[in-house]
Amino acid sequence: MIELENVGYSYGGGELLSDISLKLQSGSFHFLTGPSGAGKTTMLKLCYGALIPTAGHVRLFEADVRDLERDDVAMVRRRVGVVHQDCQFLDHLTVADNIALPLMVSGGDLLAESANLKELTNWVGLTNRANAYPPELSGGERQRAALARAVIMSPDVILADEPTGNVDWEMSQRLLRLLVELNRMGKTIMIATHDLALIRAAKAHVQARVLRISNRRLQLAGADL
């Protein structure tokens, strides 16, 4: 579904990632670890075409990102849901409208999707907050709203950048359970995180591959995690 072949990424004259090769197969579950500044967010951006590699090839659903026109990239991104670390929302829209925003942008029929939107809002536990506005949400509620927005288009792949970084342990477990449930539905998942306790907890529920960025390269993490 997403393939990186000998990928490198440099900016400002410095090399951040080097010789990265990875295949995200359908239905797989990956954790991406590494210290702050190692390039986790950059790698996720390469995985959904927000960045073009400075070396090697990134293929999204068999298409090389360098060959994609702007409209092609937009269509490909509909198949990839992204949960960003900073969880940006439009503060003048309700939670429900923020979740539905990808449908609006893509020209989808909101009336036809209203039942799906309600079901999704309930799935992330935000039914009672659907008419609230983003500034009124807690950190955990924002993360769950971000996850709902990422999956409203029923993508094949979900990429999550530190989705539990600003929430307590109980909420991080709840978010993890939602992502595991998505994986059991056949979705491909990659979570960038520095939380090793979260990875250990996940291994009780899902067969996850743990990857680590170290010295600009991607490594398979040890079984001690």
Tens-digit pLDDT profile for residues 93-102: 999 999 999 8
3-class state of residue 127 by DSSP: helix
Pick from 144, 151, 147, 116: nearest CA to 128: 144
Number of neighbours of residue 169 by Cβ within 10 angstroms: 12
pTM to 2 decimal places: 0.91
Pick from 36, 54, 53: nearest CA to 45: 53
87 torsion bin: left (phi>0), alpha (psi -120 to 50), beta (else): left
* Domain ranges (residues) in the chain: 1-79+155-225, 89-153
Mean pLDDT of all residues in 114-125: 88
Q: Which CATH class is domain 1-79+155-225?
A: alpha beta
Is residue 167's pLDDT more than 70? Answer: yes
Helix (H) or strand (E) segment spanning residue 67: none
| Distance in angstroms (rounded) separating the CA atoms of residues 196 and 210 | 10
Q: For residue 223, what pLDDT band results from cuts at 50, 70 and 90?
A: very low
